[in-house]
Amino acid sequence: MAKIKIGVIPSAGLGSRMFPYTKVSNKVMLPIINKPAIDYQIKELTNAGITEIYITGRYLKGVKDYFKHDIKLEHLTENFGHRDTIQKLRLANKPCTLHFISQPEPKGWMYEIYQLQSKLKGEAFIVALSDIIIEGNPLQELIDKFHETNLHIYSSGRYIFGPTIFEVLNKQKYFLGDDTHVVTNVTKELSATANLLHMALKGKRCDIGSPIEYLKTITYFGLKDAETKNEYLEHLRNLCQSPVIKENPPKA
């Protein structure tokens, strides 16, 4: 069986829980420290051997610009004497082959996969849901299990599908703003034919889909980052001792 080389990051949802930010920007561009969420997601995929990624959704210009090699900005940075930051700038250069597919209709992430049928070339592929970031390299275990069993695999916000998934997706009806029924129908059909395997995900799962989960994710990465963790931790300690917190303690 050929190695899995293709990944898909579907992101055409409205991102309504993160309004008004997502009114004009895709939620994958939500910043976590000094990088957008999609930077972490693409790193996760490339670390697992993915060399070609399809990013589908709305407001993709900012995503394209982020991964574009900006030689003019590099020269400006160097001319301003900020040579130590150029390497950080270059970290945002395109890490693999990226395809940007406009998908203005929020009919659910499985509809976005369905629309890619002709582009995926009959190959197996990984789906990384755009509001989830996974730390570590748990994808490799999912890939190994897929090759071992030849079953579709699903875990927490990550899926591996073989090309036969389109036999099921082609039978679905897709509606604006409602993808729950499609995910339920597809999962039921695959489970009924013993073609779907659930695996527990061992890596750290972070969510950016709602304000509170996004704040938790920022805090997690802020306390892990070598440049920010000490000062940020001290800030949190001081904040917890501030009169605002003491006078308005969290409810039990």
Under 8 Å between Cβ of 63 and 15 = no
Looking at per-residue pLDDT, the higher value among 55 and 89 belongs to: 55
* Band (1; pLDDT cuts 50, 70, 90): low
224/133 Cα distance (integer angstroms):
15
Task: Report pTM.
Answer: 0.90
**Domain coordinates in residue numbering, the chain:** 6-209, 210-252
Convert the pLDDT of each residue in 69-90 to its tens digit: 888 888 888 787 777 777 777 7
Structure tokens at 163: 């090309």
Q: Which fold has domain 6-209?
A: Spore Coat Polysaccharide Biosynthesis Protein SpsA; Chain A (3.90.550)
Tell me whether the omega of the peptide bond preceding residue 20 falls within 30 degrees of 0, making it cis.
Answer: yes
CB neighbours (10 Å) of residue 43? 15
pLDDT tens, 233-249? 999 999 888 887 777 77
**234, 237, 238, 242 alpha-carbon torsion, rounded to 10°:** 170
Tell me the pLDDT tens digit for each residue of 113-169: 999 999 998 899 999 999 999 987 889 999 999 999 999 999 989 999 999 999 999
**CA angle (26, 208, 252) in 5-degree steps:** 145
Q: Does the pLDDT at position 3 exceed 90? A: no
